[in-house]
Amino acid sequence: MGRIRPTPSPSGAGHGGRRFFTSLTPAKRRAFRIAALALPFLLLGAVEGGLRLGGRGGYPPFLRAAGRLPTGETLCLVEPAASKPYFFANPDRPGYAEQTNFRMPKPAGTVRIFLVGESAAKGYPQPRNLSMSAFLQEMLQAAWPERTVETINLGTTAVASFPLVYQVRDALRFDPDLFIFYLGNNEFFGAYGTGSLSAAGRLPPRALRILRGLRGSALFQTLNEALRRKSDGSRTLMEEMMGRAAIPAESPLRAAAARNLEENLIAMLAHTQAAGVPAIVCTTASNEADLAPLGADDEAGADPAQRAEALRLLAEGEARLADQPAAAANAFRRAAACAPRNARARFGLGRALAAAGDREGAREAFLAARDLDTLPWRPTSQTEAAIRSAARRMGVPLADVAERFRQASPLGATGHESAGDHVHLTLHGQALAARCMAETMASLPEPLQLSAGALARLPDSEDLARRLGANPYDEYRVNHTLRVLFGVDFMRRSNPDALERFERACRLAESHMSPAVLEAARQWQTMRPHAGGLRPIAGMAARALLREGRVDEAAGLFAIAARQVPDYTSWHLEYIYFALACREKIAGSLAEADRETAARAIAEGQFLLARGFSQTGLTERYVGRLHQLRGEWVEAIPQLLAARPRMTAEDLLACDQALVMSYVKTDRIPEARSLIHDGIRRNGRFAGVYRQLLAQLPPPAALLRDSD
């Protein structure tokens, strides 16, 4: 059979490229190879550059300048959206810090403290005026009446410690006097935690830094946005972050979490020490005595017969717990012997020993149950030890908040008197954590050292909570938030009693609300947090109370709501306006201090408008209303006119009512009449209200007589 010859390519094209390449000199061949290898990278670089020009890629700063104030100072802020790129697996449900504003250069006589951590440090689920940073600021202000104390809360929800290294680097540019680190409760399920959806597994911090760089590329972020799954809007952020259903006690992810926490904390402390800024490191408290293990039982090391016997003994222990704690403890011990890694057996033993009065034994059992929990949403002994080790290695003071809470608990381990869920603190817990931080400042060098006399001036926590604005509506806010959290499947299965406790508290609060306030509370429950925080329930309740004529109550709640939102926002202007309007209604006129408050709020609004920070028209609306409170009727008109095109329904009606008032006060009756007729034509369901406004205007005949 003859050999098949290859078909020659036209014009010798099959060999043309080869002949061209072999005809080149060796130097040119090397250059050709380098160019061929470099071409894909050049193309990628061109794509990356184009995407960067389009605004993609990189990491926004955690703190940034917002603009220059009339005083010449620069207004700076904590950027709520800065953490979004770290949530590459679920960027439409990122954690966030709350916006806080401050000034540069730092005003003379100011002590600026940055609190670094996660949602527990933020103060969740308490509002910002009742967070640990608010308590700390008020305590230090009492200790140092001659200074101005700023505690700037950088607490960011749902992140592990790794992203916070970059947050600290950013914060160092803003003239801090002290850093306080309260972190470590998200090392498993926070962004860059070892078991989260936005995880990197067991990678050490050095590899995480490389990974962060890759994920910060515009190309990665564009592809990730195009290919990622959409978040389930019905799931909580807690559920969204879970990349693993269980992390057993012997999992290497636990050792990796502790190692990463220690190394990241050391990196943060190295940055602060290089800048010459003191720091305090805190252990983080968690609910050890009143939160049953969250994860499924770990049955490793037990055969089927032992597992069955452990289940029988657990049921026996539960049955005897109420009236036979010693017998219950014996049953739980035997269950733990059958199934050595069963967290529920240790938790039951802790409850039985606490009921029997064995505080030390209860503490040991509760901490063992926490460590054996296969869903480690709480700090473990390993991560707590990592915090202590980092503080010791870097030679910084340790505020042992976790141990302070245990010592204060009658059960020997922290319970729901201090921690409402797994790590988030009650009002009592926020105050106690702040006090522990303040007392640790006694070991700092001057000028930050708190003397014995200064410590003696720290206010009583309950009195301080009242001064900061504790109220029944925010108590309801917290109880509802925890009701939702304990409604998550794995929380409800493991801790049904907690869900029922918060359900009862909410029902009791609702039974004391008027129908209008209850409706406001129901509406508040449907709202999702903005990037800068959650709309205060106190402000929504105040609106309902104001409509009911309960002006005194409304005035106090509006003032509280103004402290629960960032200044230099339309929210802040809204609550300042309503608080002052209530005060005017009560007193008949504004005091000079109130007029100055209104002037400062107007200046805030003008700053926002000058920089285009108003998209809703609410800034213009409340700047106009604040001018009216000051009797500046002419100045109010252009602001209200600018707000009108973006108002609808009741908001448009309120804006028009205010405009009519300014027109009447400035003798511009024809414009008022025209505005009202337009409202009658365009606003069918509010036409009757506009007709009432029309009836209140001076009749045309009267105007003619006056002009004569």
pLDDT at 685 over 50: yes
Query: Of the candidates 412, 437, 467, which is a domain's last residue?
Result: 467
- How far apart, in whole angstroms, are the C-alpha atoms of residue 222 and residue 213? 15
| Confidence at residue 91, expressed as pLDDT on a 0 to 100 scale | 72
- How far apart, in whole angstroms, are the C-alpha atoms of residue 335 and residue 290? 20
H helix or E strand, kind and range, residue 180: strand 178-182
pLDDT band at 463 (very low <50, low <70, confident <90, very high): very high
CATH number at residue 677: 1.25.40.10
Q: Is residue 36 included in any domain, yes or no?
A: no
For the residues 590-604, what does the mean pLDDT come to? 97
Could you report how far apart the first and last alpha carbons of the chain are, in Å? 125
- How far apart, in whole angstroms, are the C-alpha atoms of residue 607 and residue 585? 28
Query: Of the candidates 346, 372, 398, which is a domain's last residue?
Result: 372
Q: Is residue 573 included in any domain, yes or no?
A: no
Q: Are 569 and 609 in contact (CB under 8 A)?
A: no
For the residues 267-290, what does the mean pLDDT come to? 98
| Confidence at residue 2, expressed as pLDDT on a 0 to 100 scale | 47
Q: Do the bridges between strand 63-68 and strand 74-78 make them parallel or antiparallel, or are there none, so unpaired?
A: antiparallel
| Confidence at residue 114, expressed as pLDDT on a 0 to 100 scale | 98
Q: Is residue 181 included in any domain, yes or no?
A: yes
| Confidence at residue 534, expressed as pLDDT on a 0 to 100 scale | 81
Q: Is residue 67 included in any domain, yes or no?
A: no
Mean pLDDT of the chain: 90
Model confidence pLDDT, tens digit, residues 543-576 = 999 999 999 999 999 999 999 999 999 999 999 9
Most confident of 43-52, 405-414, 525-534: 405-414
pLDDT band at 112 (very low <50, low <70, confident <90, very high): very high
320 & 385 share domain: no
Model confidence pLDDT, tens digit, residues 294-313 = 999 998 889 999 999 999 99
| Confidence at residue 444, expressed as pLDDT on a 0 to 100 scale | 97
pLDDT band at 704 (very low <50, low <70, confident <90, very high): very low
- Cα dihedral across residues 260, 263, 266, 270: positive or negative: negative
Domain of residue 708 covers 593-708
330 & 425 share domain: no
394 & 477 share domain: no
pLDDT at 268 over 70: yes
Model confidence pLDDT, tens digit, residues 166-196 = 999 999 999 999 999 999 999 999 999 998 8
182 & 282 share domain: yes
Most confident of 143-152, 188-197, 216-225: 143-152
| Confidence at residue 213, expressed as pLDDT on a 0 to 100 scale | 87
CATH number at residue 387: 3.40.50.1110
pLDDT band at 420 (very low <50, low <70, confident <90, very high): very high
Q: What percent of the chain has pLDDT over 70?
A: 90
Q: Is residue 213 included in any domain, yes or no?
A: yes
269 & 125 share domain: yes
343 & 388 share domain: no
Q: Is residue 504 included in any domain, yes or no?
A: yes
Query: Which region, left, alpha or beta, applies to residue 445 given φ > 0 means left and ψ of -120 to 50 means alpha?
Result: beta
The structural domain count of the chain equals: 4
Q: Are 188 and 76 in contact (CB under 8 A)?
A: no
| Confidence at residue 20, expressed as pLDDT on a 0 to 100 scale | 59
**Which three-class secondary structure string do you get for 507-540?**
HHHHHCCCHHHHHHHHHHHCCCCECCECCCHHHH
pLDDT at 1 over 80: no
365 & 409 share domain: no
| Confidence at residue 705, expressed as pLDDT on a 0 to 100 scale | 44
226 & 90 share domain: yes
Q: Is residue 384 included in any domain, yes or no?
A: yes
658 & 610 share domain: yes
Q: Is residue 576 included in any domain, yes or no?
A: no
| Confidence at residue 57, expressed as pLDDT on a 0 to 100 scale | 80
Model confidence pLDDT, tens digit, residues 75-90 = 999 999 999 888 877 7
Higher pLDDT, 467 or 38: 467
Statement: the pTM of the whole predicted model exceeds 0.85: yes
- Specify the 3-state DSSP secondary structure of 224: helix
556 & 694 share domain: no
| Confidence at residue 215, expressed as pLDDT on a 0 to 100 scale | 84
Query: Of the candidates 348, 372, 396, which is a domain's last residue?
Result: 372
Q: Which of 81, 86, 85 is nearest to 199 (CA)?
A: 86
| Confidence at residue 530, expressed as pLDDT on a 0 to 100 scale | 61
642 & 500 share domain: no
559 & 689 share domain: no
Q: Are 253 and 202 in contact (CB under 8 A)?
A: yes
